[in-house]
Amino acid sequence: MHVAFIMDGNGRWAQAHGLPRHEGHRRGASVIKKVLRVAEKSGIKYVTFFAFSSENFSRPESEVNFLMNLFEKFLKKYGKTLCEREVHFRAIGNLSQLPLNLQLAIEKLAQSTAHFDKFHLTVALNYGARSEVIQATGNLLKNKDVDVENLTWEDFEQYLYTKDLPDPDLIIRTSGEQRLSNFLLLKSAYAELYFTKTYWPDFNEEEFLLAIEDYGARERRMGKINDKTNN
């Protein structure tokens, strides 16, 4: 099972507590650890976090810098633990626009964990689904061996950042907003969506278990006729 998170509401959480926005991000980072623990215990093998959208680069420079430092610190702090727990780490997005130090930290951790298959942690950084599709199409067209007339989704998917990941089964968005905001648009064609009003820094084990329970009660038809009504 693949669960993807749109971690929203860090700024509003901070505001509600009379704190600067970066405190919301800092606390938001600590939630990731809790979520990973629940996922591992619940037998969820793939977890993806939308940490920074391409659009987020237009935020004030101080906030962008704070977030970039936070990402790098996170990778350095938990790199060893991730290896010990046999977690395959990936980052998806246009990584070449990220600060060099962060790119290097990503590359190092991604390479040193690439052989693990017990659990898969993916972080979307400078990610936007539309630019992912444009970039994928460009690369596909550069490949002269591609038979465009008979192209299948499976062929096309190989050009996406998410090529080695299964489709997300469940997408959870916090903070009450009910939209995908350019996140995994094609991969989430059949994903179940779960929205909670809780701000990301307050998201916790109980909330995650509730979302998993809610997902478990849904009937996933994937465009097919329900077996029960078909009998």
d(CA 82, CA 90): 12
- Within 8 A by CB and 6+ apart from 215, the residues are 169, 170, 192, 194
Which residue number, 159 or 199, has a Cβ lying nearer to ligand FPP?
A: 199
Other beta carbons within 10 angstroms of residue 169's beta carbon come to 18
56 part of the interface to ligand FPP, by CB under 6 A: yes
Least spacing, CB of residue 229 vs ligand FPP, in Å: 41
Q: Residue from 38, 105, 123, 211 that binds ligand FPP (CB under 6 A)?
A: 123
| C-beta nearest to ligand FPP: residue | 11
Verify whether residue 231 is a known catalytic residue: no
CB 54 within 8 A of CB 128: yes
Which residue number, 136 or 201, has a Cβ lying nearer to ligand FPP?
A: 201
168 part of the interface to ligand FPP, by CB under 6 A: no
d(CA 108, CA 87): 14
Verify whether residue 56 is a known catalytic residue: yes
Which residues form the catalytic set? Answer: 8, 56
Footprint of ligand FPP (CB under 6 A): 7-12, 25, 28-29, 32, 49, 51, 56, 67, 70-71, 74, 123, 175, 200
